[in-house]
């Protein structure tokens, strides 16, 4: 998973329903490019550099994992999708939508067809004013002047008039901040860790990652299940209890909430599959003592993947000790999760079928999963 980059862009339009053009562009950017963090007020200005209808302009702050070169390609595609015609000649012309990269982190790029920061940024009041509204202290990486300073020294005398109507941020519908603790669960290879990481990154959450890779019994278990099942499950239970208890109780002032890629109950689910009846009975006694003291999540998300897809995902991620996992084992694990969920009427459970989704590579699928978690 690539790291998210902080980007500022400008949008402009002077054809058709101008406000709707801006809103459509923002909606598409949110669906296909990244998280919309901030949207400036809209300003109306005369056409700059040519005679035409007045423009509506705004600036947007967003995060994306795409490179500057990839963004340029995607922005041109989106412009065309929204109805922009190919430019004729070198002169300025009216357009349905114009999307320009202003800043990409603090990078300086000077390539043919791609200059970042935007080469004419400091000369355009219709860009500096809306950018000032959302990032006044942002520094230009070349001059080291803030946007406030650049706006104050801008020689562009064009009139920039605040427009009466505002734009909506489509990403604002995803509100996790009212929740303190969210668990993402699922079978082996369901994508629970990837989803939990993405949510933590996008919504400033503290991420609790299960430390299964440090369990010395796990590779041995996959080679000889009958011998190593009980010590494996007991060590997992102890590790999960300690990690969850410690991490949930340690308040992080700079994080909005906690998201974990497992729930303590998975210990019981896996133990029921791997242990013989007498060992499971003993194991359950230990589990019940621990479980009653555990803080329960505000939302328990279970990602369902069909067995065929799970096996493909397991093969693809290439963990050597997982390659001998059989389909019947995965089906038993899924059955165990379902039984647990049915036995917990007080747990706020969201079961999401992600068999036909690729929420890691497809942003629209990711937004659909978020919608199902929060709605």
Q: What per-residue string of b and e applies to 331-365 under the rule 16 or more CB within 10 Å gives b? A: ebbbebbeebbeeeeeeebbebebeebebeeebee
In 95-247, which ranges are E strands? 98-104, 109-111, 114-116, 160-162, 181-186, 206-208
CA angle at residue 351 from 345 to 356, to 5 degrees?
Answer: 165
Q: Give the single-character DSSP code of 31.
A: H
d(CA 237, CA 93): 66
| Whether the Cβ atoms of residue 189 and residue 261 lie closer than 8 Å to each other | no
Active centre residues (catalytic): 261
d(CA 290, CA 258): 20
Q: Which residues contact 34 (CB under 8 A, 6 or more apart)?
A: 4, 7, 62, 63, 64, 65, 66, 363
Q: Which residues contact 156 (CB under 8 A, 6 or more apart)?
A: 123, 124, 125, 126
Select from 185, 169, 170 the least CA-distant residue to 373: 185
Tell me, letter by letter, the H, E, C secondary structure of 153-197: HCCCCCCEEECCCCCCCHHHHCCCCCCCEEEEEECCCCCHHHHHH
3-state secondary structure of 212: helix
Q: What's the N-to-C CA distance of the chain in angstroms?
A: 26
| Whether the Cβ atoms of residue 147 and residue 61 lie closer than 8 Å to each other | no
């Amino acid at each position: 998973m690539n790291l998210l980059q902080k980007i500022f862009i400008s949008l402009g339009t002077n054809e058709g329903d101008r406000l709707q053009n801006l809103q459509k562009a923002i909606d598409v950017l949110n669906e296909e490019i990244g998280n919309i963090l901030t949207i400036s007020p809209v300003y109306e200005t005369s056409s700059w550099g040519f005679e035409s209808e007045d423009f509506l302009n705004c600036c947007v702050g967003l995060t994306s994992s795409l490179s500057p070169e990839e963004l340029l390609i995607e922005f041109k595609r989106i412009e065309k999708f929204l109805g922009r015609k190919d430019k004729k000649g070198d002169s300025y012309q009216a357009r349905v939508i114009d999307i320009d990269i202003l800043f990409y982190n603090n990078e300086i790029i000077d390539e043919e067809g791609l200059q970042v920061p935007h080469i004419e940024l400091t000369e355009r009041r219709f860009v500096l004013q809306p950018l000032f509204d959302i990032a006044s202290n942002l520094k230009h990486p070349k001059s080291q002047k803030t946007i406030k300073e650049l706006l104050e020294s801008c020689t562009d005398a064009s009139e920039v008039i605040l427009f009466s109507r505002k734009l909506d941020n489509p990403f604002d519908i995803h509100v996790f901040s009212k929740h303190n603790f969210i668990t993402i669960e699922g079978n082996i290879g369901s994508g629970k860790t990837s989803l939990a990481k993405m949510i933590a990154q996008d919504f400033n959450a503290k991420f609790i990652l299960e430390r299964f890779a440090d369990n010395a019994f796990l590779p041995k278990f996959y080679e000889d299940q009958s011998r190593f099942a009980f010590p494996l499950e007991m060590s997992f239970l102890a590790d999960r209890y300690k990690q969850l208890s410690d991490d949930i109780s340690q308040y992080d002032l700079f994080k909005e909430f906690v998201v974990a890629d497992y729930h303590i109950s998975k210990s019981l689910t896996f133990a029921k599959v791997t242990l013989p009846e007498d060992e499971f009975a003993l194991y359950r006694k230990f589990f019940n003592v621990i479980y009653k003291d555990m803080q329960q999540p505000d939302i328990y998300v279970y990602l369902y993947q069909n067995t065929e897809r799970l096996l493909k995902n397991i093969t693809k991620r290439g963990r050597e000790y997982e390659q001998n996992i059989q389909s019947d084992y995965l089906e038993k694990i899924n059955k165990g999760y379902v039984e647990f969920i049915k036995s917990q009427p007080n747990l706020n459970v969201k079961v999401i079928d992600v068999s036909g989704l690729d929420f890691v590579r497809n942003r629209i699928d990711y937004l659909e999963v978020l919608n199902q978690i929060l709605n």
